[in-house]
Structure 1
Amino acid sequence: MASITLQNLVKQYGDGFPAVNDVSIDIEDGEFIILVGPSGCGKSTLLRMIVGLEDITSGDLLIDGKRVNEKAPRDRNLAMVFQNYALYPHLTVFENIAFPLRLAKGKHTDDEIRKLVTDAAKTLELTDHLERKPGNLSGGQRQRVAMGRAIVRQADAFLFDEPLSNLDAKLRGQMRSEISQMQRRLGVTSVYVTHDQTEAMTLGDRVAVLKKGVLQQIASPRELYEQPVNLFVAGFIGSPSMNFLPATLEGNVLKTAVGDIQVTEDKARAAAGKKVVLVGLRPEFFEDASLVEEHKKDLGSTFMAELTHTEWLGNEQYGYINFDPDPEVRELLNSLAAEMDADELRPQIVVTLDAASRIRGGRSAELWLDTRKMHIFDPETGDNLTRDAEAGAALTQEANTARAEEISEAREREASTAGQPV
């Protein structure tokens, strides 16, 4: 296993466009890092630079502290799992998994190859399929074969390039779980590229959010969600997306298109001096006021709003509120949508309501908002004016500690199962 260090990496093409622009990340031994962002943000290019399929324009790439910029891909001892599996259709599952071992001619005996392949197949539940051809396997099984090929190489790190994008939703969920458990069990350093929100939030120890080749924030999924550094990260992470509501400050009250929101003094100070701010509100910050306990109501603010419609999902429901921003704010929302690879950011608020709520579309309703959790952004710079960096760092540290414990426990179980001393 190995640590991977990216020091001010730049990838510039002939036209001068920096696909990756001054990215620095320290990936610890055994860590699972996710690279996420909209199309064209540079995440796949960065992965290819790590494995050696793209030249590095400037900066340094270190594996276990050793500079590898000029090393060929085969000399970096990294295993890549591709989006299209890259399997050989004429070879059996056994031979597909064994292929990198046979490529290293003379390095492994036939008995060693058989043991490595059968062990990997057992780990990935492929034992019954070793004599089949890839064309006779399901998408999920083919993906496991590709992962098996990475495992037998005993590589220092696994690199995944959107490996689940060709699978249907149900199978993606199953494979997410399998990849996560495998990574913990093997404790192997992993870098995983995806555009999928759920994969990013559920798989990674830390998630690196990229925008136009520039690293915006790298942190645990929870820190990204609760303490985003700017508008882009706040809008990109989370589904449904964070709501952005233009507001002006009067005293300790934020005047918005859907009503007045009373805020705490620290949030009022953050917005002071700004002509207009954008209030960041996650859908779950809202609730039907009639269902909020009395002692909790004082911890937030209530307001009246008319919902255009609601969507009942069984365990919860979504409500939608339209508002009419001024042209300047509408332009800002459109610009942010373009950066996030979205068609548009509608002047609309999405609220999460309890499944028991009787609020319906077309009627005025009283809503409660937990103002303690709201964020305030500077629309000019995009900065989160209310970010608590210390609280965010604590969330990531908590995730790091949990990761170390999980890897240790997984290795203990593996050793115990194999009848080896821990």
Structure 2
Amino acid sequence: MASITLNHIDKTYDDGYHAISDVNLDIEDGEFVILVGPSGSGKSTLLRMIVGLEDITDGELLIGGRRVNEAAPKDRNLAMVFQNYALYPHLTVYENIAFPLRLVRDGKPSDEEIDRKVRDAARVLELTDHLERKPGNLSGGQRQRVAMGRAIVREADAFLFDEPLSNLDAKLRGQMRAEISQLQRRLATTSVYVTHDQTEAMTLGDRVAVLKKGVLQQVASPRELYEQPLNLFVAGFIGSPSMNFLPASLRSEGGRHVLSSPIGDIPIPEAKARAAAGRDLVLVGLRPEFFEDASLVDEDKKAAGSVFRASLTHLEWLGHEQYGYIEFQPDPEVAGVLADLAKDLDADEMRPVVVTTLSAESLARPGTPLDLWVDTSRLHLFDPESGENLTRDPEAGAELTRRAADERRRQIELATQRDAAPRA
């Protein structure tokens, strides 16, 4: 195991394209870090620079405290798990897993040692019954486990994953997410994982690094990214359905503070109003789950937010919940901001619509005015020009990431204890 440190890493191609700009990232020994961002954000380029498949234009890369900028991939002791598995179709599962061990020249392990390592990895990955089969006779999930087995037997300092689950169907991706997470905890191996999938990013990583056009935007636990995003881009990228953005202006009268928005007036607390004071326009960030049918909210909870009236244009009923949509007409200035944000997020457009998550019990109907409750204590306010989150609480965010780090250490300890316990 080893830590990975990126100090002011840059990547510029021969044609002048600046793919990575001044990235600084410290990955602790045993930590699971996710690199995420839209297409073209530089996440795969950064991973390939770590493994040595891309040259570093400027900056310093350390693995276990050792500078490796000029080191060949084979000298970095890193194990790569690719999207297409990269298995040898003519070899059995056993030989695919053993392959990197047979390539060792100095200090080559004995046949007995190779056999022990292969069978230990197969047991961990539940592949023992498949060791004599060929990859073509395995499911996608089994082939992925074989690729991981090959990484395990190398006893690498770190695992690097390049969108390893993108070829699997949704159900199998869910199973493999759980397996990768549990395996990483058991092995406590430093891992860097590239994905564009929201669920993978939010469920697998101890911390998530969000990239935009080669620039690192924020590195934090999934929960901190979700609850305390640094800027408009991170807020819009993290979460599905994504955060709603509404143009609004602050109006204060008689000690009451109201955000005038295209979907109605939204009363807000004093602390939020202070963030918007002196600004002609702000963007209000509201996650879909901040809303509810006001008739289903008890009085104690209702007091912690605000109620406003709106008409839903349509509803999507999902069984356990339903999505209600409110369309609005933004002014030209905000329309331009939303168009630029959509482009950054690799989306065709950012439609002027608010998505609300309502209880399945709600009897809301499209076209009929509805009283909606919104949790105003959790809304965010953004500067439409700089994208800065005006209401972010850095201390609360840092505490969420500290808790995630403590939980990682606890899970690794539990996994170690389970593996050390005598088997019945």
Most deviating of 407-416 and 344-353: 407-416
- Tell me the CA shift for residue 384 of structure 1: 0.1
For 2:265, what is the secondary structure of its paired residue? Answer: strand
2:262 to 257, 260, 265: 257
Instruction: Please give the alpha-carbon distance, in whole angstroms, between the structure 2 residues aligned to 1:295 and 1:100.
Output: 62
- Tell me the CA shift for residue 417 of structure 1: 4.0
Instruction: Please give the alpha-carbon distance, in whole angstroms, between the structure 1 residues aligned to 2:314 and 2:374.
Output: 19
- Whether 1:365 and 2:370 are equivalent positions in the alignment is yes
Alignment of 1:235-384 (within 5 A): 235-251=236-252, 252-384=257-389
- Tell me the CA shift for residue 248 of structure 1: 0.5
State the one-letter code of the partner of 1:156.
Answer: D
- Whether 1:2 and 2:2 are equivalent positions in the alignment is yes
Q: Which residue of 2 aligns with 1:388?
A: 393
Alignment of 1:116-131 (within 5 A): 116-131=117-132
Instruction: Please give the alpha-carbon distance, in whole angstroms, between the structure 1 residues aligned to 2:205 and 2:18.
Output: 26
State the one-letter code of the partner of 1:146.
Answer: A
Q: Which residue of 2 aligns with 1:207?
A: 208
Alignment of 1:40-189 (within 5 A): 40-105=40-105, 107-189=108-190
Unaligned runs of 5+ in 1: none
Instruction: Please give the alpha-carbon distance, in whole angstroms, between the structure 1 residues aligned to 2:397 and 2:243.
Output: 18
For 1:333, what is the secondary structure of its paired residue? Answer: helix
Instruction: Please give the alpha-carbon distance, in whole angstroms, between the structure 2 residues aligned to 1:96 and 1:24.
Output: 36
Q: Which residue of 1 aligns with 2:418?
A: 413
For 1:53, what is the secondary structure of its paired residue? Answer: coil
State the one-letter code of the partner of 2:24.
Answer: S
Unaligned runs of 5+ in 2: none
How has the CA–CA distance of structure 1 residues 35 and 270 changed in structure 2, closer, same or farther, with 3 Å as cutoff?
same
For 1:7, what is the secondary structure of its paired residue? Answer: strand
For 2:161, what is the secondary structure of its paired residue? Answer: strand
- Tell me the CA shift for residue 181 of structure 1: 0.3
For 1:295, what is the secondary structure of its paired residue? Answer: helix
Instruction: Please give the alpha-carbon distance, in whole angstroms, between the structure 2 residues aligned to 1:256 and 1:201.
Output: 31
Instruction: Please give the alpha-carbon distance, in whole angstroms, between the structure 2 residues aligned to 1:294 and 1:197.
Output: 34
When the two structures are aligned, how many residues end up with a matched partner?
Answer: 419
Instruction: Please give the alpha-carbon distance, in whole angstroms, between the structure 1 residues aligned to 2:279 and 2:170.
Output: 44
Instruction: Please give the alpha-carbon distance, in whole angstroms, between the structure 2 residues aligned to 1:298 and 1:342.
Output: 37
Instruction: Please give the alpha-carbon distance, in whole angstroms, between the structure 2 residues aligned to 1:193 and 1:295.
Output: 43
Q: TM-score, normalised by structure 2?
A: 0.98
Instruction: Please give the alpha-carbon distance, in whole angstroms, between the structure 2 residues aligned to 1:31 and 1:297.
Output: 40
Instruction: Please give the alpha-carbon distance, in whole angstroms, between the structure 2 residues aligned to 1:231 and 1:256.
Output: 18
Q: Which residue of 2 aligns with 1:32?
A: 32
State the one-letter code of the partner of 1:191.
Answer: V
For 1:22, what is the secondary structure of its paired residue? Answer: strand
- Give deviations 1:6-63, integer Å, cap 9, x for gaps: 1010011012221111001000000000000000000000000000000000000001
For 1:365, what is the secondary structure of its paired residue? Answer: strand
Q: What RMSD in Å do the two structures reach over aligned CA positions?
A: 0.9
- Tell me the CA shift for residue 361 of structure 1: 1.1
Instruction: Please give the alpha-carbon distance, in whole angstroms, between the structure 1 residues aligned to 2:422 and 2:308.
Output: 58
- Give deviations 1:186-245, integer Å, cap 9, x for gaps: 000000000000000000000000000000000000000000000000000000000000
- Tell me the CA shift for residue 418 of structure 1: 6.5
Instruction: Please give the alpha-carbon distance, in whole angstroms, between the structure 2 residues aligned to 1:174 and 1:417.
Output: 27
Q: Which residue of 2 aligns with 1:217?
A: 218
- Give deviations 1:70-117, integer Å, cap 9, x for gaps: 111001000000000000111111000000000003510000000000
Instruction: Please give the alpha-carbon distance, in whole angstroms, between the structure 1 residues aligned to 2:309 and 2:119.
Output: 64
State the one-letter code of the partner of 1:128.
Answer: D
State the one-letter code of the partner of 2:375.
Answer: D
- Give deviations 1:274-315, integer Å, cap 9, x for gaps: 111000000000000000101221211101000011111111
- Whether 1:232 and 2:233 are equivalent positions in the alignment is yes
Instruction: Please give the alpha-carbon distance, in whole angstroms, between the structure 2 residues aligned to 1:129 and 1:408.
Output: 30
For 1:336, what is the secondary structure of its paired residue? Answer: helix
Instruction: Please give the alpha-carbon distance, in whole angstroms, between the structure 1 residues aligned to 2:148 and 2:284.
Output: 43
State the one-letter code of the partner of 1:232.
Answer: F
Instruction: Please give the alpha-carbon distance, in whole angstroms, between the structure 1 residues aligned to 2:187 and 2:367.
Output: 54
Q: Which residue of 1 aligns with 2:20?
A: 20
Instruction: Please give the alpha-carbon distance, in whole angstroms, between the structure 2 residues aligned to 1:349 and 1:103.
Output: 56
Moved over 6 A (4+): none
